[in-house]
Amino acid sequence: MKIFKFGGASVKDADSVKNVSMVLQSQGFAKCLLVISAMGKTTNELEKVVELYFKKDNYQTEIEKIKRKHIEIAEGLFPENHAVFAEINLFFDDIDSFLRRNKSPNYDFVYDQVVSCGEMISTKIVSEYLNEIQFTNQWLDARDYVKTDNSYREGTVDWAKTEEFISNLNPEICYVTQGFIGSDDNNFTVTLGREGSDYSAAIFAYCLNAEAMTIWKDVPGVMTGDPRKFNDVALLSNISYEEAIEMAYYGASVIHPKTLQPLQQKDIPFYVKSFVDPTKAGTKVGASDKNQQEESYILKENQELLKISTRDFSFIAEDHMSLIFGHLSKYKIKVSLMQNSAISLALCLEDKFNNLEELNEELQKIFKTEAIKNVSLFTVRNAKMDHIDRFYHEKNVLLEQISKNTLQMVTQ
């Protein structure tokens, strides 16, 4: 089977959904599984619903707005009496009903039950539209196949159960399913982390021993830098799994960090291609004698810099490191870059769940700390080291690290 993943930008309106069918026509619609994200900015809009709910504010108006938007998309795809309109209404009724009945104070749990509905609705619309134009497919609820623990908003996949369920799918037919979501042992929805639809596609690819996996983007492929942030960037037509994993880890937004390892384990080729022009080759990630190692630029914004030192100027020892990293794990804060000296430790952090203040309070019981908010991590892969001076121009560098072929700096 082939796995195709379409993100929110590729299904943001009726014309975009029609374009998905054109992409599929160009690729051949047979023996494939489509992983679809929520439409446009729906995830952000549903996040706002959850925020309003916990503030005890009027979240119903926001739900109505999101529903109206999806109905308008469906009106551009289906005749007015089509069954999909009742399906859309039912999904939004379910959101409202869940929030009215919910007794859990757990923000992450409520978030997953509500925000996941974006994928459920978008896949239902796309699946029904493709069937309408004779691209026969079966709609799947990904939560019946991708099984996880109950780490809401950052679920860990139970690979044994997931592979058992997914391997039962018929490889001779086509499916449409959701990215970003799975379920725990109690069948509650668990999301796989923001932008986790790419990872979902890799999970299905791994478990189905797919021939290839393609992610369809609004860019030509993996570039040497985000064209919205850097000038004179170029397309990388072939890169290795290792290079792509490094780029994703450092923050290249075109690839989700967890996506590549399952594909690498089974040597499944991974393509990043443009849904604007599906005839172009895009980027191939995999084992090849044509793999490039071009100088590439990655900017990871909205980071936090935390400087930690002992109160008595003693060394930062192994027991200190163990304690610090235990707290980082507890508060779900990820390390983007670390640097330590004898008496201090500097951490560039990604605080997706806004827990840095709590972490800082905990650490200040033992250590001296200094937190600098809203910094950026700038990474140059395959840096030409004899010309690195140009990267320091007009930058306030708070921390830097240079290895054999990678330059990293935290800037403000």
- For residue 207 the two structure tokens come to 């478990």
Instruction: Verify that 190 and 320 share a domain, yes or no.
Output: no
Asked if residue 268 is part of any domain, the answer here is: no
Number of domains in the chain: 2
pLDDT digits (tens, 9 = 90+) for 199-238: 999 999 999 999 999 999 999 999 999 988 999 899 999 9
CB of 130 within 8 A of CB of 75? no
CB of 162 within 8 A of CB of 145? yes
Asked if residue 226 is part of any domain, the answer here is: no
What is the share, in percent, of the chain residues with pLDDT greater than 70? 100
pLDDT tier, 122 (very low <50, low <70, confident <90, very high otherwise): very high
Instruction: Verify that 213 and 300 share a domain, yes or no.
Output: no
Name residue, tokens 């290792």: 242
- Residue 353 gets which letter from DSSP? T
- Residue 8 gets which letter from DSSP? G
Average pLDDT, the chain: 95
Task: Using the predicted structure, report yes or no on whether residue 50 has a pLDDT greater than 90.
Answer: yes
Instruction: Verify that 204 and 350 share a domain, yes or no.
Output: no
Q: What is the pLDDT of residue 260?
A: 92
Instruction: Verify that 38 and 175 share a domain, yes or no.
Output: yes
Asked if residue 262 is part of any domain, the answer here is: no
Q: Which of 161, 188, 217 is the last residue of a domain?
A: 217
Q: What is the pLDDT of residue 405?
A: 86
> Alpha helices of 156-308 — where are they, by DSSP H?
159-166, 197-207, 241-250, 260-265
> Are β-strands 296-310 and 344-350 bridged in parallel, bridged antiparallel, or unpaired?
antiparallel
- Work out the number of other CB atoms within 10 angstroms of the CB of residue 138: 14
Q: What is the pLDDT of residue 211?
A: 96
Q: Which residues pair with 271 in a beta bridge?
A: 214, 284
Measured CA to CA, the distance from residue 403 to residue 405 in angstroms comes to: 6
Asked if residue 74 is part of any domain, the answer here is: yes
Average pLDDT over residues 97-105: 97
pLDDT digits (tens, 9 = 90+) for 254-287: 888 789 999 999 999 999 999 999 999 999 999 8
Q: Which of 189, 217, 245 is the last residue of a domain?
A: 217
> Are β-strands 138-139 and 175-178 bridged in parallel, bridged antiparallel, or unpaired?
parallel
Asked if residue 256 is part of any domain, the answer here is: no
Q: Which of 217, 232, 257 is the last residue of a domain?
A: 217
The residue type at 127: S
CB of 246 within 8 A of CB of 293? no
pLDDT digits (tens, 9 = 90+) for 146-175: 999 999 999 999 999 999 999 999 999 999
Instruction: Verify that 301 and 212 share a domain, yes or no.
Output: no
Instruction: Verify that 212 and 303 share a domain, yes or no.
Output: no
| CATH at residue 124 | 3.40.1160.10
pLDDT tier, 360 (very low <50, low <70, confident <90, very high otherwise): very high
pLDDT digits (tens, 9 = 90+) for 370-397: 999 999 999 999 999 888 899 998 899 9
Give Dmax (Cα) for the chain: 74
Asked if residue 6 is part of any domain, the answer here is: yes
The parent domain of residue 47 ranges over: 2-217
Asked if residue 181 is part of any domain, the answer here is: yes
What does the radius of gyration of the chain's CA atoms come to, in whole angstroms?
23
| CATH at residue 304 | 3.30.2130.10
Q: How far, CA to CA in Å, does 162 sit from each of 29, 36, 244, 265, 333?
A: 25, 19, 25, 16, 27
pLDDT tier, 342 (very low <50, low <70, confident <90, very high otherwise): confident
Instruction: Verify that 11 and 145 share a domain, yes or no.
Output: yes
Instruction: Verify that 204 and 86 share a domain, yes or no.
Output: yes
Instruction: Verify that 341 and 201 share a domain, yes or no.
Output: no
Q: Estimate the crossing angle of helix 117-132 against helix 84-101, to 10 degrees.
A: 170
Asked if residue 197 is part of any domain, the answer here is: yes
Average pLDDT over residues 94-112: 97
CB of 70 within 8 A of CB of 88? yes
Instruction: Verify that 208 and 300 share a domain, yes or no.
Output: no
pTM (2 d.p.): 0.91
pLDDT tier, 250 (very low <50, low <70, confident <90, very high otherwise): confident
